[in-house]
Homo-oligomer: A and B are copies of this chain.
Amino acid sequence: MTTKTERTARAHSSADIEPAARGRKRDHSRDADILDAALDVLAEVGAAGITMDLVAERAGAGKATIYRRWTSKAELVIDAVAHIERMQVDIEHLPDTGTLRGDLLALFRPEAMEASTRRLKIMSALASLLSADQALAEAGSAVIVKPWADAHFALMQRAVTRGEVSARADITTLSQVVPSMAAYRTLVQRKPFTLEFLLSMIDGVIMPALRICGARQPKKSDRSQT
């Protein structure tokens, strides 16, 4: 599932033994170019319209070059999806504002979500593929939603150890609420993911469920951010 998909997979003979390595070397940075081109095409024509010819043309590559690196269109698309830049949630450097609510809000990066229409369109295109292909569903879910849910879980767990939240809270389920609903909203409803939406999730669902008081009267300053 991780990138390579059997690189050097042309089943041939000699190449495996690396015969003194003369001549040109395969340029691995071209992989990224081709994957980017695939994502571009995906965003432009949708999942149904993507063809290898389009990808090759967009990448300025020959089809043979693509097939030298991936065995099929399906594998290329799967790799391309896995190649989407991770949701900028660095699990190592989570925000630490002192309160869970502040931490959760600090995860919100307007530019990360709405900056590129491209990613949104890719996700839209993905929505249809997700139902047709189990491997893609897992790849898409792993890239788009899981890191986010993991971040929420980590933040909630920290709030528990801090004593801010009851240890009996079902943070396993609660950590999936915002990512799931955001994915649903984006992929299916195709409405934008806004701060207002995030606030209604946090203040209407998460914080009340965690029995943290004060969430019910969000500060004016928070709302005016919208």
Contact = CB atoms under 8 A, between A and B. Distances in A.
How many copies the complex holds: the figure is: 2
Nearest to A176: B181
Contacts of A209: 204-206, 208-209
B185 A128 contact: no
Given A181-B176, A205-B170, A208-B169, A188 B132 contact: no
A203 interface: yes
A124 B206 CA distance: 27
Contact of A48 (B47, B169, B187): B47
A150 interface: no
Interface string A119-162: 00101111111111010011011000100000000000000000
A61 interface: no
Nearest to A130: B188
A190 B47 contact: no
Contacts of A22: none
Nearest to A122: B131
A46 B132 contact: yes
A187 B184 CA distance: 9
Contact of A200 (B130, B134, B170): B170
A94 interface: no
B124 A131 contact: yes
Interface centre among A128, A173, A204 (most CB of B within 10 A): A128
A211 interface: yes
Contact of A124 (B128, B200, B203, B210): B128
Given A177-B205, A181-B177, A208-B209, A190 B124 contact: no
Given A181-B180, A181-B181, A209-B205, A187 B128 contact: no
27 contacts: A46-B128, A46-B131, A48-B48, A48-B128, A124-B127, A124-B128, A125-B128, A125-B131, A127-B128, A128-B131, A130-B187, A131-B187, A138-B190, A141-B189, A170-B200, A173-B201, A173-B205, A180-B181, A183-B184, A183-B188, A184-B184, A184-B187, A205-B205, A205-B209, A206-B209, A208-B209, A208-B210
Closest 9 A-B residue pairs measured CB to CB? Answer: A170-B204, A128-B128, A46-B132, A127-B127, A173-B204, A124-B131, A209-B209, A208-B209, A180-B184
